[in-house]
Amino acid sequence: MRVLVVSTPVGWLGSGLGGGVELTAASLVAGLLQRGHAVTVLAGAPSQLPAGCDAARLWCEGGVSQPSWQHCGREAAVQIPAEALLGHLWRRALAEQAGFDVLINLGYDWLPLWLTPHTSTPLAHLVSMGSVSTAMDAVIAEIARSHPQHLAFHTASQASDFDLAGAPRLVGNGFDLDRYQFQPNADAVLGWAGRIAPEKGLEDAAAVAARLQRPLWIWGVREDEAYARWVEASVPTGTLEWRGFLPTERLQQELGRCAVLLNTPKWNEAYGNVVVEAMACGVPVATYARGGPGELVQEGVNGCLAPPEDREALAAAVERAWQIPRHQPRAWAECHCSRSAFAERIEDWLNAVLAEPPCEGT
């Protein structure tokens, strides 16, 4: 297949602003290339393709980054700023669509979903978030009725947020596990990784680390500086160690030194990439039983679970997870989250998209 992958307009590839979509994009592109498909990536300038994606073409467009739906109210209207990167990406995609067999949208945005029945080349959407907006819920439900094969989700927990016409297409996610070194021994530290923003719940991880009197290493873009300072002030000095936003090679080296990774989302996380990244290094995970991470973590196998917002239970989950043999999380990641398996699931999905008959009037 000739595939055009349209990235998130929230940030450029390599910036970290796109969150887990950036890692998903890298795995999807590299995996499809390995399976013999011709892939072009359309993303915001100054994007760069990560390792494993060198054979793909990269087209970059300028423009104003799109505000994330995570930071808008549930009843907020659809926003498209002047000179929006979102508009520039999809103007280019529409102009170039005749050169491709299928278009893949990785952005969680109203415009490309609305475009689905209006393109001449099939347009498929890998939905990257759970429900955060009435407007997005409505357009996803509309496409689920008119073009059900054109939607895919990472997990059943995520898909359950939406009003779908039938059983969801679940594709999980994939990782180049060769880039993650198994580390059989750990330092007496806890880890946390993600965008530093309120919906990620860092304050809960900080409180648990303080309760257990263990240092907490933190990786990620400080998206909300005031929030980061508030979290730091909420625990004793020295509890938190800010490690920055790191490329995969450096992140996995540091992450693998942790005894346990804490994952504390305040919302229905679609998947939980960092959960699998930790497991790939041999690090068990303590997380809330919510969303994708709650689906990925198997109690006593690769981590431990706690009821959402229950810090005391999360602290107990950390202590249980600390006892899990580190080969178990790595083995689970190898079995369920390889890039090759993800690419095969994506290919099966795209074949179903291409086989879906057009709806009347489209």
pLDDT digits (tens, 9 = 90+) for 74-85: 999 999 999 999
**What are the pLDDT digits (tens) for 259-278?**
999 999 998 889 999 999 99
State percent of the chain over pLDDT 90.
88
Domains, the chain, in order of start with CATH, read 2-174+339-355 (3.40.50.2000), 177-336 (3.40.50.2000)
Burial degree of 93 (CB within 10 A; 0-12, 13-18, 19+): buried
**Residue that is written with structure tokens 């969150």 in the block:** 19
Contact 188, 163 (CB under 8 A): no
Q: 44 phi and psi, to 5 degrees?
A: -70, 145
Report pLDDT for 278.
97
pLDDT at 362 over 50: no
**What are the pLDDT digits (tens) for 44-101?**
999 999 888 999 999 999 999 999 888 888 999 999 999 999 999 999 999 999 999 9
Residue 123 pairs with which residues in a beta bridge?
A: 103
**What are the pLDDT digits (tens) for 172-219?**
999 999 999 999 999 999 999 998 999 899 999 999 999 999 999 999
How far, in Å, CA of 180 to CA of 160, rounded?
31
Report pLDDT for 361.
44
Strand order in the sheet with 240-244: 240-244, 216-219, 190-193, 260-263, 285-288, 303-306
Report pLDDT for 358.
66
**Residue that is written with structure tokens 């297949």 in the block:** 1
Residue 59 pairs with which residues in a beta bridge?
A: 42
Mean pLDDT, the chain, rounded, equals 95
Q: What angle do CA 332, 302, 340 make, to 5 degrees?
A: 25
Report pLDDT for 140.
98
pTM assigned to the model: 0.87
Provide the greatest CA pair distance for the chain. Answer: 64
Report pLDDT for 359.
59
State percent of the chain over pLDDT 70.
99
pLDDT at 246 over 70: yes
Mean pLDDT of 130-134: 95
Mean pLDDT of 225-252: 95
Contacts of 304 (CB under 8 A, 6+ apart): 284, 285, 286, 297, 317, 318, 320, 321, 324
**Residue that is written with structure tokens 């100054």 in the block:** 46
